């Protein structure tokens, strides 16, 4: 059920998430070796990691976004025989530094150049971090479990862009952290642009203060019309039967109600209404407001023969949203985003509260795997 809502109101798991390409993301070495802060806990893998710069990174005062970590050529053990177990041991030993320090500061970490070659390797990397897995209630359908806690990101048509979103932003229980892994590099394109959510909030607040004030006061309502069966020609074409995993309308209503969604039946489908729900959240750990909504995604992307995207999202009081502000927000998202071409073996760790992600169109092949954590 969890993925169901995600698929409806969030670009991601129904669509694919991640991205990356090869070639151009050339690594530049940065001075210094990053060490665990507590030197008394030095372990063999302690200086295995090295922070590097890549051309796509952005700098916001204290924040380097995202942080990029590669094997340290001077690190114990990695110079001669890099192995997955060395990496997973190093993750376990350095978790406070990686998560509480780097991820907390930056919002996203890229691990590049480590010997992560398969879905199973990726699963071991995720396990090494020790985060609790986010359960998928009834979550079978379009997402395929590859191994362990690793899933495919469901592929929407390659030529389509997936708009910026926080993963499962409209579901009561959304992941706190996301992992992506590049198993097969995209032919061309297919990056997974990321953007710091509080930066989007700050820029919107500065440029459109009245709009943001109204958004904070009223929240947003999301409306989507679903057919009875799936419509493969539409990127948002899941019918209500597969969305709610039932053919029984009363069961569908019960399941929708649990998600806070109202249903109105039509001749050939159902109109779903979600909200009002808050569009701005407060990140308690970092004490700042974040742009936690699917406003732009819905307004610019929820289009098919049943849905007019302009009607897909409104203020919480039902008032229409001003188009020019939506498109200005889209511009800000693009301006502040970082799109790193995927390289095979890349692992991207995202703090889902701090960072929005999207996907650029691509030419196949491309296989990005995902894992969601509490
Ligand atoms: Fe996503």
- Name residue, tokens 């039946």: 265
Q: Which residues pair with 282 in a beta bridge?
A: 289
- Both tokens of 182, joined, read 């590049």
| pLDDT for the residue 317 | 97
Sign for the pseudo-dihedral over CA of 357, 312, 245, 235: negative
Distance CA 71, CA 347 (A): 13
Give the other-Cβ count within 10 Å of 210's Cβ. 8
| Residue 51 Cα to ligand 1 middle (Å) | 26
Spatial contact of 29 and 188, defined as CB atoms under 8 Å apart: no
| pLDDT for the residue 136 | 53
| Residue 48 Cα to ligand 1 middle (Å) | 30
Neighbouring residues of 171: CB distance < 8 A, sequence distance ≥ 6: 2, 5, 6, 9, 10, 259
| Residue 143 Cα to ligand 1 middle (Å) | 12
| Residue 107 Cα to ligand 1 middle (Å) | 15
| Residue 97 Cα to ligand 1 middle (Å) | 26
| Residue 358 Cα to ligand 1 middle (Å) | 6
Strand order in the sheet with 347-351: 49-52, 67-71, 108-111, 347-351, 177-184, 367-373, 150-152, 145-147
Distance CA 337, CA 192 (A): 10
| pLDDT for the residue 162 | 84
Closest by CA to 69, choosing from 18, 35, 20, is 35
Using DSSP, state whether 99 is helix, strand or coil: helix
| Residue 167 Cα to ligand 1 middle (Å) | 5
**pLDDT per residue as tens, the chain (374 positions):** 333 333 333 333 322 232 222 333 333 333 333 333 333 333 334 578 999 999 999 999 889 999 999 998 876 566 566 789 989 999 999 999 999 999 999 999 999 999 999 999 999 999 999 999 986 543 333 567 899 999 887 667 888 888 898 987 766 678 999 999 999 999 999 999 999 999 999 999 999 999 999 999 999 999 999 999 888 777 677 888 888 888 999 999 998 898 888 999 999 999 999 999 999 999 999 999 999 998 998 898 888 888 888 899 999 999 999 999 999 999 999 999 999 999 999 999 999 999 999 999 999 999 999 999 99
| Residue 72 Cα to ligand 1 middle (Å) | 31
| Residue 268 Cα to ligand 1 middle (Å) | 29
| Residue 33 Cα to ligand 1 middle (Å) | 32
Same fold, 39-192+340-354+361-373 and 196-335: yes
- Name residue, tokens 């698929």: 7
CA dist 201 to 35, 64, 73, 89, 353, Å? 33, 18, 39, 38, 13
Q: Domain spans of the chain?
A: 39-192+340-354+361-373, 196-335
| Residue 109 Cα to ligand 1 middle (Å) | 16
| Residue 246 Cα to ligand 1 middle (Å) | 25
| pLDDT for the residue 81 | 62
Domain 39-192+340-354+361-373 belongs to what topology? Answer: Double-stranded beta-helix (3.60.130)
- The arrangement of secondary structure in 196-335, i.e. its CATH architecture, is 4-Layer Sandwich (3.60)
pTM: 0.83
| Residue 372 Cα to ligand 1 middle (Å) | 10
| Residue 77 Cα to ligand 1 middle (Å) | 35
Neighbouring residues of 33: CB distance < 8 A, sequence distance ≥ 6: 47, 50, 72, 74, 75
- Both tokens of 264, joined, read 């109105």
| Residue 320 Cα to ligand 1 middle (Å) | 26
| Residue 162 Cα to ligand 1 middle (Å) | 8
| Residue 224 Cα to ligand 1 middle (Å) | 19
């Amino acid at each position: 059920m969890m993925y169901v809502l995600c698929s409806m109101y969030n670009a991601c798991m129904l669509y694919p998430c991640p991205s990356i390409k090869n070639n151009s993301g050339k690594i530049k070495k940065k001075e210094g070796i990053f060490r665990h802060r507590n030197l008394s806990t030095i372990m063999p893998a302690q200086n295995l990691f090295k922070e590097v710069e890549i051309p796509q990174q952005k700098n916001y005062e204290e924040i380097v976004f995202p942080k990029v970590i590669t094997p340290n050529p001077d690190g114990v053990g990695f110079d001669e025989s890099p192995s997955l177990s060395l990496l997973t041991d190093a993750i376990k030993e350095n978790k406070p530094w990686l998560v509480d320090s780097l991820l907390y500061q930056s919002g996203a970490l890229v691990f590049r150049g480590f010997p992560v070659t398969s879905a199973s390797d990726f699963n071991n990397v995720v396990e090494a971090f020790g985060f609790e897995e986010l359960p998928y209630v009834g979550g079978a359908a379009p997402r395929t479990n590859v191994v362990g806690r690793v899933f495919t990101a469901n592929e929407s048509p390659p030529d389509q862009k997936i708009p910026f979103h926080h993963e499962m932003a409209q579901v009561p229980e959304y992941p706190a952290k996301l992992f992506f892994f590049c198993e097969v590099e995209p032919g061309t394109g297919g990056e997974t642009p990321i953007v710091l959510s509080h930066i989007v909030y700050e820029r919107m607040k500065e440029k459109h203060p009245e709009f943001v004030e109204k958004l904070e006061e009223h929240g947003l309502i999301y409306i989507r019309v679903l057919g009875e069966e799936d419509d493969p020609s539409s990127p948002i074409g899941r019918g209500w039967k597969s969305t709610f995993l039932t053919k029984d309308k009363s069961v569908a209503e019960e399941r929708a109600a649990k998600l806070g969604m109202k249903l109105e039946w039509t001749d050939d489908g159902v109109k779903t209404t979600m909200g009002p729900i808050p569009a701005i959240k407060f990140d308690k750990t970092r004490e700042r407001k974040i742009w936690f909504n699917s406003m732009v995604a819905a307004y610019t992307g929820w289009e098919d023969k049943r849905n007019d995207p302009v009607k897909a999202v409104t203020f919480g009081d039902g008032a229409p949203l001003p188009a020019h502000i939506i498109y200005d927000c889209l511009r800000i998202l693009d301006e502040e985003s970082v799109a790193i071409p995927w390289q095979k073996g890349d692992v991207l760790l995202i703090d889902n509260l701090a960072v929005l992600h999207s996907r650029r169109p691509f030419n196949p092949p491309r296989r990005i795997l995902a894992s969601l954590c509490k």
